[in-house]
Amino acid sequence: MLNLKRKSIYRLNGLLIMALFTFVSGFYSDCAASSVKADDAAVASGNIISIAKKRMDAGEQEKALELMKKYVQQYPEAEAAAELFVLIAKCEKDIYEKNRSVMAKSVIASYEQIINKYPYSELGAEACFQIGQIYEKELKDNDEALKFYEKCVVEYPVTTFAASSLYRTGQIYESREDYEGAIIAYQRLSNDFAKYQIAVDSLLRVKDIYATKMKQNNKTIDKSIEAYYEVLNNYPENKKTPEVLMELAKFYKEKKGDAENSIKTYQQVIEKFEKDPKAYDAYMEIARIHEENKDYKNLAQTYNKLYEAYPTHEKADKTLFEIAQIYEINLREYKKKRIDDKTYFRLEKNNLNEAVKYYTKIVDNFPQSKYAPAALMKIGDILNTDMANGLDARLMYKAVVEKYPDSKEYAQALETYNKMR
């Protein structure tokens, strides 16, 4: 009898549950139907944009997206279509970001399982660093990223992941313009991981912070120079050394106004890294300093050394032409002479002879160069005007006419030659 009652009660409960389920399902179906009808009614009345925005504000991006896509397919020429396309793009971006966030947190959970299971292993170190990366790169949460980077440094101090964590820490502090914090992170890295290339990179970051990020004063300028020398002294054979020396030389010139140390530093590039492309650039920078200082004698000597070091360089002919012009124009000398209480000036010809020598080198070594006809004209002018040697000068003009009929110097050479006949 009791069993029959129990069975009756169970049957009743089941019927009640089914009835309740039917009622609830019907209620929600009615609500959904009502919602769809409301949407359809609003769409028909032209309120599609308002509905879509409400759906998006409620976090129902998928529903909003479906509704908007359906509308623009049915009414592509509608006035609301343009704004809807913008909302569709935003909606899809929101969905992507939401899904990406969910996936990122799922990956973080997997990495945390690795840390828990292998707490003192290389796997744990990598997992810890990767969590920091996800927070920094994917979730844009630098505070959480810093926590895991620091955890990696503290709990896995002898791994490459600890070094990378310190570097990323420095980068985050730099992005926040917390330069003191960045310098501390980079210096920890350079001290604890001196044998790695990343230690060099960290010291270069310290140098750049002092040189370009912090307000310039005597203290930061001196700190920059210290950072340069820390790299150069600790890593003299590093592949970036020529570049660092070039930067230091420029820094001396621009920030300290110290041309002497700038030249000395450029000369280190030339002497220690003669096969590096930076060596050619170092010669050119030294030449630029001498030219700014109007030190034409050293300018000519620098160009001459440059030519001797790179006789087949694509600009070797131009280098010779520069040297010749310096001797002809900038180093043209006159000596005073007093006769009967009168002052006379006599042209010194030594430097003009040097000019002729370098112009001749261009003609001999680079006969097809655009500078060759110009060099012949220059020789002719010096011989004719300064050395009163018209006979040899005529030969130079004649050479231009015969060998370089397509040159811009041809017309002038022909005219001058014909006048001297």
List domains and CATH numbers for the chain: 299-421 (1.25.40.10)
Residues 6+ apart with CB under 8 A from 390: 383, 384, 420
Q: What is the pLDDT of residue 174?
A: 96
β-strand pairing of 342-348 with 333-339:
antiparallel
Least confident of 18-22, 187-191, 218-222: 18-22
- The stretch 174-197 carries a mean pLDDT of 94
User: How far is residue 298's CA from residue 292's CA, in Å, rounded to a whole number?
Assistant: 12
Interior/surface letters 84-117, b for 16+ CB within 10 angstroms, e for the rest = beebbeebeebeeeeeeeeebeeebeebeebbee
Residue 31's contacts (CB-CB under 8 Å, 6 or more residues apart) are none
- Residue 156: partners with Cβ closer than 8 Å, 6 or more residues away: 120, 122, 124, 125, 128, 162
- Do residues 153 and 147 make contact, with C-beta atoms less than 8 angstroms apart? no
Backbone angles phi, psi at 332, to 5 degrees: -65, 125
Q: What is the pLDDT of residues 201-221, one digit of tens each?
A: 999 999 999 988 988 888 889
What mean pLDDT comes out for the span 184-201? 93
Beta-ladder partners of 337: 344
> pLDDT band for position 284 (50/70/90)?
very high
Structure tokens at 177: 């313009």
Structure tokens at 29: 């179906």
**pLDDT confidence of residue 99:** 75
Top pLDDT among 150 and 102 is at: 150
Distances from the Cα of 27 to the Cα of 18, 19, 31, 250, 320, angstroms: 14, 12, 6, 78, 95
pLDDT tier, 337 (very low <50, low <70, confident <90, very high otherwise): low
For residue range 68-93, list pLDDT tens digits in order: 888 888 888 888 888 888 888 888 88
Question: Cβ(257)–Cβ(292) under 8 Å?
Answer: no
* CA geometry: angle 60, 62, 66, nearest 5 deg: 120
Is 111:127 a contact under the CB 8 Å cutoff? yes
CA angle 68, 71, 73 (to 5 degrees): 110
Is residue 368 within 8 A of residue 342, CB to CB? The reply is no
- What's the pLDDT score for residue 29? 37
